[in-house]
Structure 1
Amino acid sequence: MVEQPRHAPLDIAYSPCPNDTFVFHAWAHGLVPDAPPLNVTFADIDVTNGMAERGELDVLKVSYAVLPWVLEEYALLPCGGALGRGCGPLVLTREPGRDLRGATVAVPGERSTAYLLFRLWAAEQVPGGVGDVVVMPFDEIMPAVRDGRVDAGLVIHEARFTYQRYGLHRLADLGEHWERTTGLPIPLGAIIARRSLGGPTLRALAAAARTSVRMAWDDPQASREYVRAHAQEMDREVAEQHIGLYVNEFTADLGESGLAAVRGLLTRAAAEGLVPPLAPDALTLPR
């Protein structure tokens, strides 16, 4: 297997959300020693999931839910992603206690982890099932619910902190449901890299991502302008809450409990016929 030269630029895609720009600031700006330079593409998670399925870039931030379709070509890096507690997707409605049977629900992507968690939850909580599912960019979902264009919306990211501004009600916290029923943290977004880069290079990329996370923690002010420049109209307080919630110890290292959460989600989803089954070593970095 031919490995990529040590300092050849890598094409990477991640979201403009504060957690990703915070995590990758040091690496993207050439501040991580011995790390390859990055050619960065900013894209929403539904777009990066599609990129991964088409094998378009070297490194991507994707939904954990898409892993069963891409792990033949890509390897999971055990750091840099989003996994934690108290940070799961929410189901929002205009009326409290809305019955979702036959309802139209907006979701941020058919291969998103949020939608996978929703499907597992709805199978238990919505007898007869929901009605139509509509994919929308996540920043359009709350206005669509508010305006009555859909009956409910599945939201992620900073919507946890802002949904009440839209006059909406939280019908369910899918992360809370997941944690209560499994005892595991919530897997949301993963960092993957091409297997063809080779095991030593993949481990070096994981080390670079981990160093970038730790540099961000050591000097939070260094990334502030980068975060702000890509956070669109998000106010500073919400951006800082976003980072505080989604960048945690699992971002630096999934560890055994993080990997158990990923396996638990994908194994349960496979048992329900929602995703293909994982190979036993699918989540392990190649040598």
Structure 2
Amino acid sequence: MIRSVVIGTGSALPKNCVSNAELAERIDTSDAWIRERTGITQRYIAGDGETTGSLATDAARAALADAGCDIADIDLIVLATATPDRTFPATATTVQFALGGRGFPAFDVAAVCSGFLYALGTADAMIRSGMAKRAIVIGAETFSRILDWDDRGTCVLFGDGAGAFIVEAREVGDDAADDAPGILATRLHAEGEHSDLLYVDGGASTTGEIGKLRMKGREVFRHAVVNLAEVLREVLEQAGRTAADIDWVVPHQANARILDATARKLGLSMDQVVVTVDRHANTSAASVPLAYDVAKKDGRIKPGDLVMLEAMGGGFTWGASLLRA
């Protein structure tokens, strides 16, 4: 049996860290208002010369170093983003070139905040089918460039950043399957009927402009809590595990209230949930790998831990993946 094993992680953030107090100087809001509703205290905003591609490249380099690999060892790049550098070519090809790679497939996946789960699921399927042996899977965003900075209900929620996994094929014997590292189960979903609840009001084939992010927050919150709890149960059932087996949940960092509500629905303690929304805000497709990298580097996630990744985003899209570190 071939299993996709995470052998390295990395992340990257823009240089500019913007606190709630600094935002309050620009828009009609306050530190207390933002903290009470979201748990966010600061976010990182990309500046001149910082792009989704450059952040993705930095995160990929860090992940390669963590794995003890170089680009010659890679035969696939899958990059999740809703804010590509250009309409085309894929930002993944920009990363491939910047890292010195050539020839192997490199492409983008667009599933907004669920993008990293979709990208990881895609890479896992390609690895298990034999199409790839070692992949860089990246989530990277510069959401600050599609925000309406006059809309205090949305612009305070998001930040920029990137996170990356190095995933490799590894043979696992049936007798060692329970304890061996790697991705155990993944489930992905979408429901396009809710696309008007979280979207960008522009596009190449509609307005010809990039557009700005629009969101009906209350409705998104309601769907998120229900959908995430359901997909986590689906993945646990697929893997033959229960919530009691989970060591850590690494969720999409939308806001603190969604994280708390989802944990309570599953009967999990918030002590088991990796939370970085306070310092990174919502970085869309970057949030799960960013949070995982933080928890791995600070020693919370250890080899052998059972870790649940989950996310929901515009579309609606949502998904979850259970892996052993």
The two structures have a TM-score, normalised by structure 2, of 0.26
Structure with greater helix share of residues:
1
Bigger relative contact order (CA 8 A; separation at least 6): 1
